[in-house]
Amino acid sequence: MDVLWADRDTLPLDDRGLAYGDGLFETIRVQGAEPLLAARHVQRLIGDAHRLAIPVEEATIQSVMRQAVQRYGRSPGADWVLKLMLTRGSGGRGYRLPAHPTPRLIVSAHEAPPIPPREGVAVALASDPLPQEFATAGMKSLNRLPQVLASQGLEGDLWEHLMTDGDGGMLEGTRTNLLARWGDQWLTPPVASLAVAGVARSVAIDWLEREGAALREVSVPVSAIDDDRFQGLLLMNSVTGAVVVTRLGSQSLPCREPVWALRDAINHRMGLNG
């Protein structure tokens, strides 16, 4: 594997990640020198690399992460973001896979975004539905154009755009997964319908299953927010944690106690104060 350090090295122009989005990435919040949810990030990266037939070993990724923390680590209490981009490496013009690829791992460090406000956030619906890519469903690939386009217009107090399935079902945000409280159960869209199956989503699902909570993997209709059984909506990712949605478009949303409690539980398990 070819490892590039963003503060020192140059990316070859024939890299397939640059040319075709042929690769994956992980963004990991680090507290000082402690990567949060590191094992889950590594497992997802390795699993998705196998789906794309990009040869990579878990031990290699773990070794590079240790080097990255030593290289970029901050003082205790100072949060930052470690980004790993894994590509298939260099290749000629055309989509056909190289016979013997040499994967490339690009490593960079970034300032951590602020944790969302505890009192919740306002969101709106994206203007276009999320394209369904069944072969790469749930995969954090470098192909993120739908999310780039859906992020247009995010300004002021608007924290996120929610992407739908085209039939009125909410699927995920541009950078977040979602959980809705409906009656005495939780709803979250299935992985097969998602662009990214997030690490924070897996933390939330594991916690709910351990608590014996009722959970259904189904799309969440936008119309559900008008039903008395709708108790609230959570968004989450592994960098900013979980946040309660208090407004969708011009409509205020209910935020019942179980929603706030799950928000706190997720952030606690992620190592965030959220």
110 vs 66, 72, 103, 258, CA distance in Å?
16, 9, 23, 34
> Could you write out the three-class secondary structure of 241-260?
EEEEEEEECCEECCCCHHHH
pLDDT classification of 273: cutoffs 50, 70, 90: low
pLDDT at 75: 80
| Digit-coded pLDDT (tens) for 88-130 | 999 988 899 998 999 999 999 999 999 999 999 999 999 999 9
Residue 149 has a pLDDT of: 95
Residue 164 has, within 13 A of its CA and on its CB side, a CA count of: 13
Half-sphere exposure of 23 (CA within 13 A, CB side): 24
Higher pLDDT, 20 or 76: 20
| Each residue's pLDDT tens digit, 197-211 | 999 999 999 999 999
57-77 tens-digit pLDDT: 999 999 999 999 999 988 877
pLDDT of residue 8: 96
The residues carrying an active-site annotation are 27, 140, 172
| CA pair distance 76, 57, nearest whole angstrom | 30
CATH fold group of domain 121-270:
D-amino Acid Aminotransferase; Chain A, domain 2 (3.20.10)
Relative to beta strand 177-182, strand 104-111 is unpaired
Contact 147, 168 (CB under 8 A): no
Report pLDDT digits (tens) over 38-53.
999 999 999 999 999 9
Q: What are the structural domain ranges in the chain?
A: 2-111, 121-270
Token pair belonging to 101 = 């690829």
| 136: enclosing H helix or E strand | none
Using DSSP, state whether 161 is helix, strand or coil: strand
Which residues are CB-neighbours of 246 under 8 A, at least 6 positions away?
A: 119, 120, 121, 122, 252, 253, 255
Q: How far, in Å, are 24, 95, 144, 163, 173 from residue 21 at the CA level?
A: 8, 11, 9, 21, 21
What pLDDT is recorded for position 77? Answer: 78
Average pLDDT across the chain, whole number: 95
Pick among 3.30.9.10, 3.40.50.10680, 3.40.50.620, 3.30.470.10: CATH of 2-111: 3.30.470.10
Q: Is 258 in contact with 181 (CB distance < 8 Å)?
A: yes
Q: What confidence score (pLDDT) does residue 224 get?
A: 95
Q: Please answer whether residues 247 and 216 qualify as being in contact, where contact means their C-beta atoms are separated by less than 8 angstroms.
A: no
| Helix extents (H) in 99-239 | 145-150, 199-210
The rounded percent of the chain whose pLDDT value lies above 70 is 99
Residue-wise pLDDT for 162-178, tens only, equals 999 989 999 999 999 99
Strand 214-217 and strand 185-188: the pairing is parallel
* pLDDT score at 235: 98
Q: Residue 274: pLDDT above 60?
A: no
CA distance 186 to 29: 26
Tens digits of residue pLDDT in 221-242: 999 999 999 999 999 999 999 9
